[in-house]
Structure 1
Amino acid sequence: MLRKRIAQLTVLSILAILILSYLLTDTSLLPQEPNGAIVPANSTLGYGTILAVSHFSSPRRASLLWAANLTDIDIVIPEQPAWTEEDVRNFQAKEHSTISKGSALAYLGHLIALKW
């Protein structure tokens, strides 16, 4: 009886190994890349242009350009004008403005990018 049990377990083990090896080598069961998969068209990741808003003296600008060069991604940084206090005041509400100078400068910089 013990020999019969061992024989059954041996046959079952061999079948399990065969089924697993078939499943692991059958590539039709693996996820396939869909036909017409979208791949990045170019170094702008398929977009016309990648814009970044960064002031010329920003300490982050060098790191941004370094990372773009490392990854072969083209990033355009439009030139920002030298904003004046008057530009900031014109952006803020006349009374009780809650927009800080930094926020106003950021908004103005993004407006330049939108006009680009």
Structure 2
Amino acid sequence: MRVLIIEDDAIIGTDLEIASSDMGFSDIAFAMDEAEAIAMGKIAPPDLIISDIRLGSSGSGVRAVNEILRAAGAAVVFVTGLMDADEMDQSGGVVALGKPWNATRLQMAISQTVKQPAGVTVAWWR
């Protein structure tokens, strides 16, 4: 399974990459901004996208995910500071996980979204 991590914070992105690797994923790409994520997603469409919602001045994780989903469906987990750490929400094949996250909660979120991948677009419902 090909994984694309979209996160503007290098430390959090690296932690997500390590956690994904520890879960057994070996084909992992990491983008730090919207444009880079879209380019990577077009070159090698991911099966799973783990993305921040807000990428600071680097764009929007939601826009990047939507652009990537236009080419191919994927499971989507948003990891965001817009929710409390103990919150997890699922809607339309997308799981949102509050920061700070931990590996157990990330694995639960991935398991949920892989069962019902997102369609061709996602909407942030908050």
TM value normalised by structure 2? 0.28
| Higher radius of gyration, 1 or 2 | 1
TM value normalised by structure 1? 0.29
